Structures are given as C-alpha cells and as structure tokens.
Amino acid sequence: MNNIREQIKDKKKIVVKIGSSSLQHNETGDLDYIRLEKLVRELCDISNQGKKVVLVTSGAIAVGKKAVNLKTIEGQTQAEAMAVKQACSAIGQARLMMAYQKLFSEYNHVAAQILMTKNTIVDNLNRYNAHNTFTQLLKMGVIPIVNENDTVATYEIEIGDNDTLSAIVAALIDADLLILLSDIDGLYTDDPRQNPDAEFIEQVDELTDEFMNMGKASTGSNVGTGGMNTKMIAAKIATSSDVDMLIANSRDIGVLHRLLEGENEGTLFVAHRDESFDLPEFVQNLHKN
Ligand SMILES: Nc1ncnc2c1ncn2[C@@H]1O[C@H](COP(=O)(O)OP(=O)(O)O)[C@@H](O)[C@H]1O
Ligand SMILES: N[C@@H](CCC(=O)OP(=O)(O)O)C(=O)O
C-alpha cells in the first residue's frame, strides 16, 4: 500500500458524490434501490466510525422525468425546455429525498437537504450562512444531502453539474477528502468507451494541462452531465483547496469502505494547497472561459 493511500485512512471529513447514471437502472430509468440502500448503509457506517460525511447526489431530473413519464426534455423554445427540466427536478428532488430519508432513518441517522446555486458561494452573506449550516449539521451528526437548486438556477447562476458542485462543497467546508462515484473506474488517458487504447491512471500528483485535457465531455449514459471534463474541474477546485480527490466506480458501492481503508482502487488526485486559489472568484468565473 503506498503512503498516500495509507493516509486516506485518517480522513475525517468526507464528501461523497454520486451521479445520476449510478442511481438508476440503465434499461428502465427507474431508481436502483439496491444500490441506493448500499450507498446509505456505507455512509451511515462512515458516520458511525466518527467521521463527518456529506452526500452530493444527482438524480433529481432523471427521477422527475420518470415520474411524469417523459422520454426526453423538449420544448418549442430553449426557455420552455429549461422550464420542463426545472419542473422535472422539482418533482424528482422530493422523490429522491423521500427515498434517502427513509433509508437513512432505517439506519438511525438523520439526513438534511441543502440546495445550492452559484450565488450560495459568490455572495458573501450566502456563503457565510451556508458554511454555518453545514458546520452545525455536521456538529449535530446529521448527514447533509446536497444538490443544485435546479428550480431557480438558469444559466446565469447555475453551477451546472454536480462534480463541480461537490468540489465546491468540499472546499467550502474544509473537507479532507472528496470521492466521486461514477460509472467508470477512474481517469483514463482518453475516454475508454471511444478509445480502446486508453490507459488507466492510478494517481495524479500534479494536475497539469495534460491531465486536464484528458477528461472529455463524453458521457457513458444519457443522464450524465459533463463526463470526465467536469470531474477534472472538480479535481482543480478540490486539490487547490487542499482536498484529496478520488474517482471510483459505483458498480460496487463497497468501494467506499475499501478506499477509506487505503486500498488502491480508482484514481487519486493528490491535494496541493494553492494559496492564490480563490473559491468565490473561481465560481463566479465558471463557464466564462
Ligand atoms: N479520460 C476519460 N477517462 C474516463 N472516462 C472518460 C474520459 N473522458 C470521458 N469519459 C467519460 O466520462 C463518463 C463518466 O461521466 P458521466 O457520464 O458524467 O457520469 P456520472 O453520472 O457518474 O458523473 C465515462 O462513462 C466516460 O465515458
Ligand atoms: N442537479 C442535477 C444533476 C446534474 C449532474 O451533474 O448530474 P450527474 O452528471 O449525473 O452527476 C439532478 O439532480 O438531476
């Protein structure tokens, strides 16, 4: 076991993000309750070990679409399509939370909902309030469940994807580890679904442009947002804020405890605090480049 992996055992404040593609059955689009239950059980166990844990979950739009039987999100204008997406998110977020609340309470844990937008970070008072809320919830032993507030977030104020959101949350609360659970084992030199010669990367010690460019926006499902591209933006935010980041495959949710035991799975991005990194400024400028 290498030394950096060994140190993962000591992580005390952990943010876990799960993508839409990991929460639903590919064939039907319905929620995968077995995986959801395993995820909740793992998170409760991490909490029982005395660690602080935050869940960033996608899935609101996918669950909402399914609830009203929409195959695709369409509208005559872009604004109409956006309204349909927002309506689906409003429907799905409530359903998703209902499932999480039920499962967390079965394991005797209390969960809370936090919905965020860009303004939560960019506005000083909002950021201060959000920070205090997270701190208080974690002090109470409650597990915050976070998603973007899709209902109010249009282009101007959206973060846009939950990889980026989870890294922002990790930076905001001074987490020491961010784990992104995806439908792929980690970072490859290229999208392995498109390039059979792509090679797996176990560890990224320094996030150079070469690594940043490896993460393509292509996704493996019709519900994922951003592909590996947004995971590299997340890596930039996390590692610059002194948070180690792991990408691992959600196929077996047991990967969570194996990672926290220091096992060598997934891709590890090693933290390097960058004193010049300014979270509110970075978030303000998201999507501008
Ligand atoms: N360099 C890369 N390494 C690994 N996966 C990549 C890479 N570039 C693009 N991808 C794609 O990113 C997908 C994961 O992102 P995404 O579909 O958004 O999933 P999630 O819902 O888990 O966030 C993979 O299934 C893969 O097709
Ligand atoms: N906020 C959206 C998720 C957006 C997103 O980033 O999705 P994913 O790529 O599946 O993590 C939702 O809950 O549907």
Query: Cα separation of 93 and 88, whole Å?
Result: 8
Give the pLDDT of residue 98: 97
Position 29 scores a pLDDT of 87
Q: Look at residue 289 in the predicted model and tell me its pLDDT.
A: 58
pLDDT beneath 70: ranges in the chain: 1, 220-224, 289
Q: Which atom of ligand 1 is nearest to the CA of 190?
A: 1
The domain segmentation of the chain, as residue ranges, is 3-284
Would you state the pLDDT for residue 215? 81
Provide the ipTM: 0.97
Whose C-alpha lies nearest to ligand 2, atom 2? 58
Kindly report the average pLDDT of the chain as a whole number: 93
Distances (CA, A) of 212 to 102, 186, 235, 243: 39, 14, 9, 17
Annotated binding-site residue? 288: no
Q: Is the CB of 162 under 6 A from ligand 2?
A: yes
Question: Closest ligand to 92 CA?
Answer: 2
pLDDT of residue 137: 98
**Per-residue pLDDT at 222:** 66
Using the mean position of ligand 2's atoms as its centre, give its distance from the Cα of residue 95 in Å: 15
pLDDT score at 34: 96
Q: Regarding the domain delimited by 3-284, which CATH topology (the fold level of the hierarchy) does it fall under?
A: Carbamate kinase (3.40.1160)
Nearest ligand to the CA of 222 is 1
Measured CA to CA in angstroms, residue 99 lies from 1, 24, 34, 96, 106 at distances of 37, 13, 12, 5, 11
Q: Known binder of ligand: residue 229?
A: yes
Say yes or no: CB of residue 226 within 6 Å of ligand 2: yes
